[in-house]
Structure 1
């Protein structure tokens, strides 16, 4: 089994790439896997930046997440708007900011 096939993609991310009935992927699985890796890596990398903005600059948790989501979902982003939302939610999960 190759390494890439061992990646467990959460349903919350798969749902971004499923059809309306949520029964089939609209996007090839290999591409979904690649997109997931980008989004997961980005959310992990944003932890320190979000903590800095919150603790050092005194910005509320919800405001930090809203700012990051806005930046990730903007027209110049390499992420889709849905992926930007997913990254910000994953970031909140990693930070335990529910």
Structure 2
């Protein structure tokens, strides 16, 4: 293989691991302060990455890690959506 492209790594705000961007979920806070899940990874705003594991999501919820990272209140629906995305992927 001649393509020696670097895999973009991102740090999980929960585990502190550096993982390929593709194996993580991005949560984004817009300028308006809206917090949402960013499955494409392309939304503008301040982003935080979380490992695609239910444990990481639950830990982030329990310890308010995303709130600290994004300096915004994280609605429960965001955590529910993250868990839904992880579960859907683990079925596929």
* TM-score, with structure 2 as normaliser: 0.33
Q: Which has the larger radius of gyration?
A: 1
